[in-house]
Structure 1
Amino acid sequence: MEIKKILVPVDGSDASKRAFKMAIDVAKVYGAKLVVTCIADVSEAAYPIMGVTLDKNGFINIKAKAERLLAALKEEIPSELDYEEIVETGIPGAGITEIVEQQGIDMVVIGNSGKGAVSSFVMGSVSQYVIHHVKCPVLVVK
């Protein structure tokens, strides 16, 4: 099996930070490109509960948090690694699956649980979704 592109979804949680470090190590071993993504989950905000919804500025703020998280993580990536970042808003599991298909990802490295700096990105259910919906290997990091 050839691994050329590794996707690591991050949310700022401890589990996603461990997955990020593991993904760097795996990318070094295989000489693979590292694709880091943060998909800010806006699904809760998109469905009004008790009359509360997220306006356009709220969506922009959520995406800005994701961009800041990726900017901070970029500093930790060794210069010899090929690197790409993807910031999205949406439903994380479905978004990760879509990125895997569109980008030709060969492996996903994901944290097993967490709720980090980016609103409502719950890796436990996300990692389960990813395991069942992508066709490439998935490494779940505790």
Structure 2
Amino acid sequence: MKINKVLVAVDESEGARRALELAEALAAPDPDMHLDLVYVVPIPLLDESQTASFKDILDMMISDGEDVLTKMEESLGEDVAARTETLLMTGVNPATEIIKLTEQRDYDMVVIGNRGLVGLKEYMGSVSHKVLNGTSLPVLIAR
């Protein structure tokens, strides 16, 4: 299986940094491989009045997400960075948004970090676990 396009889910965690390192290691020797870095800004379900008062906070969260994407892209080697696109999304559930993205675009693989949750928390709250079970694509989880 030739891997041409990889979705790399990132946030500010150490697991995301490891996921990006793995994705870069995959992409570096293959000049045809493209990476998409995605950051999902988690937003709560709000009604219109709550959304209006939440706007400043949401704007700040979006700005923080843009900063994370910029830092992650800048950490890549120049050659891989030239083949990388950054995507900022918002949604109630980051795992759901990542899965939707895999259905909308032609990815060959997802690379995502694992925050090191253990036991029941790993299965109930893990974005990586939800993505693993929610997509038909191969998922590489960086631990």
Of residues 104, 109, 112 in structure 1, which corresponds to 2:111?
109
Q: Does 1:128 align with 2:129?
A: yes
Partner of 1:70: 69
The residue that corresponds to 1:93 in the other structure is 95
RMSD: 2.1
Q: Does the residue aligned with 2:28 lie in a helix, a strand or coil?
A: helix
Partner of 2:2, secondary structure, is coil
TM-score, reference length from structure 2: 0.81
Higher mean C-alpha displacement, 26-35 vs 102-111 = 26-35
Q: Secondary structure at the match of 1:135?
A: coil
The answer to whether the 8 Å contact 1:40/1:89 transfers is yes
Aligned residue type for 1:128: H
Q: Once the 2 structures are TM-superposed, how far is the Cα of residue 47 of structure 1 from its aligned partner?
A: 5.0
Residues of 1 paired with 2:42 and 2:105: CA distance?
20
Runs (4 or more) in structure 1 with deviation over 3 Å come to none
Alpha-carbon distance between aligned partners in 2 of 1:69 and 1:57, rounded to the nearest angstrom: 19
> Is the Cα contact below 8 Å between 1:14 and 1:114 reproduced in 2?
no
What's the CA shift for 1:69? Answer: 0.6
Separation in 2, partners of 1:57, 1:27: 37
- The answer to which structure has the higher helix fraction is 2
With over 3 angstroms needed to count, the CA separation of the structure-2 counterparts of 1:38 and 1:114, relative to structure 1, is farther
Q: Which has the larger radius of gyration?
A: 2
Cα deviation, 1:29-72, whole Å, max 9, x if unaligned, reads 444101101101113xx359xxx876111111111100001111
The answer to whether structure 1 residue 83 and structure 2 residue 92 are counterparts is no
Read off the aligned partner of 2:12 and give its amino acid letter: G
Cα distance in 2, alignment partners of residues 92 and 114 from structure 1: 17
Q: Is the contact between residue 108 and residue 136 of structure 1 (CA under 8 Å) also seen in structure 2? A: yes
Q: Distance in 1 between matches of 2:106 and 2:97?
A: 14
User: Which residue in the other structure is 1:120 paired with?
Assistant: none
Aligned pair in 2 of structure 1 residues 36, 58: CA closer, same or farther (>3 Å)? same
The one-letter amino acid paired with 1:27 is A
Q: Secondary structure at the match of 2:95?
A: helix
Q: How many residues align?
A: 129
Q: Percent identity?
A: 32
Contact 1:93 1:126 in 2 (8 A): yes
* Structure 1 residue aligned with 2:121: none
Name the amino acid aligned to 1:129: K
Contact kept, 8 Å, 1:16 with 1:114, in 2: the verdict is no
SS of match in other structure, 1:55: helix
In the alignment, residue 63 of structure 1 is paired with which amino acid? I
